Structure 1
Amino acid sequence: MAGGQDITDRLSMACTVCKSGPLEKIHYVTHILGKRHQKNLKNRSKALKKDEMSRTLHVTGFKKDTPLETLVGTFYRYEVVNISPFLSYCFMELKSRQTVQKCLDDEHFIGLQKLKVSLRHQSQATGSSSPLRLNWRAQMALKQTISSAQSQWHAIDALVKSIELKTEHYEQREFLRQTLENFLRPDFPVAMACVFGSSANNLGFVGCDVDLYVHLGVDPWSEGTKAQKESKARDLTWYLARKLKNSKRGYKVQAIAKARVPIVKFEDALTRLQVDLSFRNGMPIYNTQLICQYTRTHLLVRPYLMVIRYWAKIQDIAGGAQPTYLITNYGFTMLMLFYLMVRSEPLIPSVSQLKAQCPANVRGEHTIEGWDCSFGQDVTHWAGRKHNVTVLELVCEFFEYYGKFDPRKWVISPLAGRLLDKTAIKQKDKSKLPPCMEYYCSQDTDLQLDTALCLQDPFEHSYNITRGLHAGPLTEFQYKCRKAAEVCSEIISQEKPLGQLFEDVFIDESILSSIQACDSPVSKEGDVTQEEIITLDDSDEISQGDASQDEIEILDVDVTPDPEEDPHDVPSASPRASSSSSNANGNPMKKKGAGFLAKRKAEEEEIEICQANEGESSVEEIPCDEDTNDSSVEEIPNGDAGAEAANENGVAKKKSSSKSPPVAVDPQAKPEKKFFKFQMNFATVKEFTITFDGCISGGKEVMKSEDDIGYAASSLIHFILQQCLKMEVNPASSSSAEEGKRKSESPESTGSGKRIKNADGNVVNVVPTYRKVTEYRCSTENQLWVGRRKASKMVPNILNTNPLQYEMAVTQAQMANYIGHENGRCPTGAATLEFIVTVWQKMEEPSVVLVTGDSLSDEKLTRGMMMPLFLYLSYLAPNLLEKIAMYIVRTSTKR
């Protein structure tokens, strides 16, 4: 930590939260107020959040209109981490307690006005998860020193009986299962519900949530492309969420539609239990049955698991699906069971040993998505074994094992019952892996190894249970394990009572810095995907971090960074109002969730579009390595083959792969410009025609003609802009005119009509990847894409409704909300947005259509209106295309 002299003379500073810098004062202040830094603060480990109170100052005495930049700059030299502003005061979080004390000892002024600085008072407990309420018998047992093995057993038994689920709790969950099953059967006649997780694995605590799997008889993942499967799963998730909310069966309904396993979270109206409803597959049921069987394998297993789970709850080590950077409850349970397999005298068999007990005629009967979930249930041999060890000694061994565990080399495999070498798994080397891994080696899917901790699922062998765990929380977990091992040893030696194990572990400055140094809160490719959590309430307000139904990802957003911003960070336009952006009139616009703004991993090749001179569109095809996830493009260097080329902005580009054929680069093209853009696929869409009133006709055969696909895509985009969003739409150009012009200018050329010299001096044609189909110049004062989700609730969505006419009805319902405003305009109608929408078609695959947009308005309008507009447009257009295809098939079948 820096001393007082270092604090005074500090000229630049690095941000330890974002791992950026060192930055000069003006850049550091802007970075602290930026979006990226604020996002990373939310994903910090629990240890950093707990210590936040002791490092936070209460600052007052400044004017209400004082800019945040001024406040942060005043305390800059004390290593400011965050600021929470209010009207007449603010909370200033500093990096360490040493700088806090130095700041309290000094005087601070803004101009001639002296500030009042004091330590923030801690009004509530630091732990976010409050411990369970224990009965008097358990409280007395935790206060007493354990004198013998028998007294230890009675104390642990008293603790377990106090926190475990009782008979009435299981009956309540069974009632919930039956009533919810009956609730869904009118729409899903074969619906069957099953409780899994903590409420069914014999390890549940009082008040735990209910995990419920429902077999609906409908499988959205059965057929279609990946995008189509995900779209159908989202639609089904939304249908269940709306049904629960509209029927008043569920309160506080949340739809997590974009998760690996879509979930509907709600509070049951009858039992007041928190429910997580899923419908993907029944694999969690087998996981629950496996854990439940392990708890009955030996007398020592269940109390051992319950004690450590209670310790983890007190220490905030494990959690449910949120936050995603912690160990899940299921993953933590598998860690505990794994140790019982690898100790010198195993208490339980490995999963592969249980699978070997299955009769040959039973194997394969319980297969889910290609993975065999069957296992033997005869554990009589293991239950009869005698072990010279107590529960508390097992607990102490667990803490010692994981406190010293090195996760960099090994994969924890409950399937094999031992550690597996990461290199052998990566290479799928059967000679170095146990026989139970043979099926995994024959699969195309790979286990994700580039995570802080790798824990293999016992049934789905290519699934890493702890894929979302960050390095910071793992470091905190191992540190607390080492401390708990020391306390356990003292309890066993009768130096401390049992209750000392469940006291919150204090993290000092050194370990806090260690956790912060290795913490990496920003998700990487391969980490657990950010889930779209959408709350269904009566308000259209979107809380920070949530996303509305109409919000999805876009490939690129044109955001011009401020010259004074951190070059590695693009903060919000207004730091004081970082949670919202504004339009031209200063009216706040709802902020979109951070998850959908992150770039998605494109299923197809990355597309780079350059705007050529004289209004022509020249799209340059640049080959990329299919295995790379880097968003940078490749270019043939003019100099040495090994040298890196740089574009006009000074960004280094990778040298061309030897596998890629040379291509010509247009030297007259303007520098790359980012557009709003999204794709649509017409590969399986039948011919259709859209009329002005939203009627759809056609559906005779799948479109194959390039012109028919281009016309259909243009008609769909034109209909959405003009009829759904009520914009003024004027065609700016047409593909036939441009193609005729290009052919007349250069009869020998194919594509854009441009010919240039390559690195060898030969003249070659510049062949574009995309051709322009049509271009629309649009203008609007109506922000009908804002609040459209709320308006859609006013229109009944019947299954056989024409999708286009339904969207027109939503528009009419939304316009009705603005009665009293001139021409039905939104309250912010004074700001006029002008932009260009262009429809492109891929040359080699005409079924692939790209829609791009570029704002003609100023930057403020672009941020305030264009971004949410294209977010909505990029959601609606592909979904309408899919619904049109389904509607055509459905109506043609009736004929």
Structure 2
Amino acid sequence: MDQEDILDTSQLSFDGDFDDQVQEILQFVRLTADRVEELQLIFNNLEDALQQLAPGCQVIPFGSIVTGLGIKTSDVDCHIVLPPNIAPTIRHVTGARNILKRYYRTFAQVIAITAAKVPIVKFIHIPTNCQCDVNFQSPIGVHNSQLIALLLHWDKRALPLAVLIKYWSKVYKFTGTNLMANYSLILMLIFYLQTLNILPSVYDLQKYMPPYFVENWNAAFDSTTYNNSNTSDLSLYELMGGFFTYYSTFNYQQNVISPYLGRVITKKALEDLSTLPEELSLYKDHVLSGICVKIRMESRICLQDPFQHSKNCTVAIYERLAHKIISLFKFASKKYEEESPSSFLKSIFTEDPCIEQLPSPPPKHQRPGNTGQKVEKVPVIQNRIHKNNPKKAKRNLQNSFNNWFAQNNKNLRGNIKST
């Protein structure tokens, strides 16, 4: 199923009550058990091929396949665990690319992206027609996925709620490449459920566990004890509406979303190390010792990573995208207030939210006190382009100047006429 098929919500009937509609959506978008089993072939083929590069290496999947959030358009992410005492290098990335290209009946469109912060190999697995990203250097994604999997299976309402919200974000096109990361959106949901005491904080999962450091951060957590003291009897419908309402009124200007703490922390407290809560002592020590810098909080939405406390997971979300996301939260919250439970899902998945666009920034070359008309600069750059042909350069410069002069005269006449 291609991307456009799964995002075509006109294929959904939205018949029955809220719970019936939830089941229809989940069946429409989620990976089937057979498909998940089929994807195991990717890991087997990849591991077999990479033995030529590093005998004894292992392929560890992470991401939506591990967390249970896989939908029919999901890609697959893998981390390659090299044998002991072998440090990953760029050579492993380029070497993997060269090896996989030899298996042209199994792997297609194989490329190595070596300039990225975490270098990866990308390819399409032909037997399953699935895109896969492979890294050698960063195992943190494996631990993140295991944490999210635990939390989404902690309460029976969490996983279906997460799939619904992930799918909703795809319909309105605000998660994905160069947009908000799916990981960030799910962390926001986890945090919301933590505030209701439905899910535990990551700090609570770590405090009785021996630390296990990955890339200088403690990635240990207790996955065996389910001391769920939650007494919330909110329905899936109420939790979904509550999620939208919570983030439509959240104070983004002052506060940071912290799934590690399971509660809001102010930007001011994170900035001033002397006011940090005791739970963030590792972050404080890392900043003071120079292991990391302070978390960047200039983005409109600030979300602290549950393991890497100096990382703002939403730092790359630009202002217009943040405005769109928050506006969509407000749209869905309004529908929750206005619509009946049986009409709610259809309204938020099919209606136009009519998001008000942010005003455009003022022209860069606007003179103080003028009428706001944009005035073009004389494009003297033409003189440099044609420096080897003086006559052509002079002619181009004169034509450009004439056009600029005529346009400004036209603007001036318009301004005078309107006064």
Counterpart in the other structure of 2:70: 204
Assess, with a 3 A threshold, how the Cα gap between structure 1 residues 135 and 396 changes in structure 2: closer, same or farther: closer
String of CA shifts for 1:55-104, please: whole Å, max 9, x gaps. xxxxxxxxxxxxxxxxxxxxxxxxxxxxxxxxxxxxxxxxxxxxxxxxxx
The 4+ residue runs of structure 1 with deviation greater than 6 A are 133-136
CA distance in 1, matches of 2:351, 2:100: 39
Secondary structure of 2:42 counterpart: helix
The yes-or-no answer on 1:132 pairing with 2:38 is no
Counterpart in the other structure of 1:437: 280
Counterpart in the other structure of 2:200: 349
Equivalent residues in 2 for 1:3-402, closer than 5 Å: 130=4, 132=6, 139-140=12-13, 142-144=14-16, 146=17, 152-217=18-83, 218-220=86-88, 232-233=89-90, 235-248=91-104, 249-319=106-176, 322-323=177-178, 326-342=179-195, 345-358=196-209, 363-364=210-211, 366-382=212-228, 385-402=230-247
What's the offset of the Cα at 1:390?
A: 1.4
Assess, with a 3 A threshold, how the Cα gap between structure 1 residues 504 and 460 changes in structure 2: closer, same or farther: same
CA distance in 1, matches of 2:3, 2:37: 26
CA distance in 2, matches of 1:298, 1:517: 45
1:484 aligns with one of 316, 332, 346: 332
String of CA shifts for 1:754-793, please: whole Å, max 9, x gaps. xxxxxxxxxxxxxxxxxxxxxxxxxxxxxxxxxxxxxxxx
String of CA shifts for 1:680-724, please: whole Å, max 9, x gaps. xxxxxxxxxxxxxxxxxxxxxxxxxxxxxxxxxxxxxxxxxxxxx
CA distance in 1, matches of 2:358, 2:40: 47
String of CA shifts for 1:147-190, please: whole Å, max 9, x gaps. xxxxx223212322332111111112212111211110122112
CA distance in 2, matches of 1:191, 1:278: 13
Assess, with a 3 A threshold, how the Cα gap between structure 1 residues 299 and 440 changes in structure 2: closer, same or farther: same
What's the offset of the Cα at 1:246?
A: 3.8
CA distance in 2, matches of 1:468, 1:310: 21
String of CA shifts for 1:863-887, please: whole Å, max 9, x gaps. xxxxxxxxxxxxxxxxxxxxxxxxx
String of CA shifts for 1:365-392, please: whole Å, max 9, x gaps. x32122111101245332x744231112
The yes-or-no answer on 1:463 pairing with 2:314 is no
String of CA shifts for 1:611-668, please: whole Å, max 9, x gaps. xxxxxxxxxxxxxxxxxxxxxxxxxxxxxxxxxxxxxxxxxxxxxxxxxxxxxxxxxx
5+ residue gaps, structure 2, are: 363-375, 390-419
Secondary structure of 2:61 counterpart: strand
TM-score (norm 1): 0.39
String of CA shifts for 1:505-549, please: whole Å, max 9, x gaps. 3435xx1134x559xxxxxxxxxxxxxxxxxxxxxxxxxxxxxxx
Contact 2:206 2:222 in 1 (8 A): yes
Counterpart in the other structure of 1:452: 300
Equivalent residues in 2 for 1:728-807, closer than 5 Å: none
Secondary structure of 1:375 counterpart: coil
Assess, with a 3 A threshold, how the Cα gap between structure 1 residues 329 and 474 changes in structure 2: closer, same or farther: same
Q: Which residue identity is paired with 2:194?
A: M
Structure with the larger helix share: 2
Q: Which residue identity is paired with 2:218?
A: D
String of CA shifts for 1:382-414, please: whole Å, max 9, x gaps. 2x7442311121111111121222322222111
Q: Which residue identity is paired with 2:199?
A: I
Assess, with a 3 A threshold, how the Cα gap between structure 1 residues 393 and 565 changes in structure 2: closer, same or farther: farther
Secondary structure of 1:425 counterpart: helix
CA distance in 1, matches of 2:185, 2:284: 26
CA distance in 2, matches of 1:283, 1:390: 33
Q: Which residue identity is paired with 1:380?
A: Y
Secondary structure of 1:413 counterpart: coil
TM-score (norm 2): 0.80
What's the offset of the Cα at 1:212?
A: 1.0
CA distance in 2, matches of 1:135, 1:449: 36
Counterpart in the other structure of 1:892: none
Q: Which residue identity is paired with 1:501?
A: I
String of CA shifts for 1:564-586, please: whole Å, max 9, x gaps. 349xxx89x88xxxxxxx9x99x
Q: Which residue identity is paired with 2:308?
A: E
Q: Which residue identity is paired with 1:243?
A: I
Structure with the larger strand share: 1
The yes-or-no answer on 1:501 pairing with 2:348 is yes
Secondary structure of 2:122 counterpart: strand
CA distance in 2, matches of 1:517, 1:295: 41
Q: Which residue identity is paired with 1:132?
A: I
Secondary structure of 1:387 counterpart: coil
Contact 1:420 1:433 in 2 (8 A): no
What's the offset of the Cα at 1:425?
A: 1.5
Counterpart in the other structure of 1:416: 261
Greater Cα radius of gyration, structure 1 or 2? 1
CA distance in 1, matches of 2:322, 2:3: 18
2:272 aligns with one of 398, 404, 427: 427
What's the offset of the Cα at 1:285?
A: 0.8
Secondary structure of 2:185 counterpart: helix
The yes-or-no answer on 1:564 pairing with 2:378 is yes
Contact 2:152 2:158 in 1 (8 A): yes
Secondary structure of 2:111 counterpart: strand
What's the offset of the Cα at 1:143?
A: 4.0
String of CA shifts for 1:246-298, please: whole Å, max 9, x gaps. 43242222322122211211111332210011111211111111111111111
CA distance in 1, matches of 2:171, 2:351: 7
What's the offset of the Cα at 1:504?
A: 5.0
Q: Which residue identity is paired with 2:160?
A: P
CA distance in 2, matches of 1:426, 1:355: 24
Secondary structure of 2:121 counterpart: strand
Assess, with a 3 A threshold, how the Cα gap between structure 1 residues 186 and 386 changes in structure 2: closer, same or farther: same
Contact 2:49 2:99 in 1 (8 A): no
5+ residue gaps, structure 1, are: 1-127, 147-151, 221-231, 519-561, 575-581, 586-895
